[in-house]
Amino acid sequence: MTGPLELDRLSRRFGDVTALDGLSFSVPAGQVVGFLGPNGAGKTTAMRAIFGLTDLDSGSVRWAGAPVGAAERRRFGYMPEERGLYPNMPVAEQVAYIGRLHGMDARAAASAASGWLERLGVADRAASKVGSLSHGNQQRVQLAAALVHDPEMLVLDEPLAGLDPAGMDAIGEVLVERAHSGHCVLFSSHQLDLVEDLCESVAIIDHGRLVASGTVDELATSGPRRLVVRVEGDREGAWARAVPGVRVSEVNGGEVRLVLDQGADSDAVLDAARAAGRVTTFTFERRRLSEVFREAVSW
């Protein structure tokens, strides 16, 4: 992946813990990029580094080829993992204030704030104090605060955590729309199914290093092949466990999902299945993002 935002060999240690270990990747414009990794992989540290919120031991963050400075950050939008808003400040005033800190004049900030609150379905709470809102609504306000100044790049740390399906849809829709209008959108998540639906590309990190990246399509069609087989009379897929070069990744409603090693022969699998009973399903499938993730982070 190439794109305007480049993270170049970022390293950061906290005492004995290595949070970032030469992490490099780019974020292209025009697509939603998912940022994945197990807990403690360094996702939050990397995102904070983009905003200069953590010191780096080495490495640099560049935007359009130039090091990111205060002026660039003004044109970025950020939604941190641990949400941060003034609990006693009215919603609309708070969103507008953050817009002003990003360089908007008072009138533009106020109208953008009310526009985004409307769009995210919290316009009726514009005069309420943030602390009085539900978790889901606070999250929407937080997103509005990240979007109010129409940023060229949006960085969101776990934007979907703790949301109901309607909230996820509302936020997901906004992210896709932002990306398709030519902006950079990078967000981290643990909900891999959702990432698969929303993202065109992903970057997967583990132990502070990049372990996989590319478009979801590329990643799904690369790597070990998947076979889904149903054999009548053997709902547990016991027949498959003896086939060399084949691993059963899951058994679901009588169907077994198999991972084929590089050298494994699908004909041999078919023969083994037929020997066990009547074969009613025999389909090659794409890797799911969750499988890409597990294989990349060596679970």
Partner 1 sequence: MSKLPYVVVIAVVAVIVRLGLRRRARARTPRPGAARAGRRPRPVLGDTGLVAAREIRERLRGRVFWIVTVILFGAVAAAVLIPALRGHGTASQRIGVVAGSAPLDAELRALARGTGLSVTITTEPGLARARAALAAGRLDVVVDGAGTILVDKPVSPADTSAPARYVRAVSEALGAQRAFARAGLTPRQVATIAGARPVPVASLQPARKARTTAETTALLGVILTFIVLTQYLTWTLMGVMEEKASRVVEVLLAAVRPIQLLAGKVLGIGAVALAQAVALVAFALALAEAAGSSLVHGAAPLVAAAALGWMVLGYAFYSWLYAAAGSLAERQDQVQSLALPLSAPLILGYIASLVSVSSGTPSLLVTVLAYLPPTAPFAMPVLVGFGEATWWQFALSMALTLACTVLVALAAARVYRRAVLRTGGRVRLRDTLLGARAPARGGTPSPRGLAR
Nearer to partner 1, 145 or 276 (CB): 145
Q: Amino acid identity, residue 50?
A: I
**Of these, 19, 23, 61, 276, which contacts partner 1 (CB under 8 A)?**
61
* Helix/strand/coil for 48: helix
As measured in angstroms, the least distance from the Cβ of 125 to partner 1 is 18
**Of these, 32, 50, 171, 195, which contacts partner 1 (CB under 8 A)?**
50
Identify which range of 94-102, 175-183, 192-200, 228-236 contacts partner 1 by CB under 8 A. 94-102
Cα dihedral angle (44, 45, 51, 55), rounded to 10 degrees?
A: 160
**Of these, 71, 166, 238, 275, which contacts partner 1 (CB under 8 A)?**
71
Decide if residue 35 touches partner 1 (CB under 8 A).
no
| Interatomic CA distance for residues 74 and 237, integer angstroms | 56
Site for partner 1 in 223-242 (CB under 8 A): none
As measured in angstroms, the least distance from the Cβ of 215 to partner 1 is 27
Decide if residue 244 touches partner 1 (CB under 8 A).
no
Decide if residue 70 touches partner 1 (CB under 8 A).
yes
Nearest to 277 by CA among 220, 223, 239: 239
Sheet bearing 184-188, strands edge to edge? 76-79, 153-157, 184-188, 32-36, 201-206, 209-215
Site string for partner 1, 102-131 (x = CB under 8 A): xxxx--------------------------
| Interatomic CA distance for residues 260 and 271, integer angstroms | 15
CA 202 from centre of chain:
7
**Of these, 9, 17, 40, 69, which contacts partner 1 (CB under 8 A)?**
69
**Of these, 97, 116, 239, 293, which contacts partner 1 (CB under 8 A)?**
97
Other Cβ atoms within 10 Å of 132 Cβ, number: 13
Q: Report residue 298: phi and psi, to 5°.
A: 50, 60
For residue 252, the number of C-alpha atoms closer than 13 Å in the C-beta half-sphere is 5
Name the site residues for partner 1 (rule: CB under 8 A). Answer: 48-61, 66-71, 73-74, 76, 78, 80, 82-89, 97-98, 100-105, 145-146
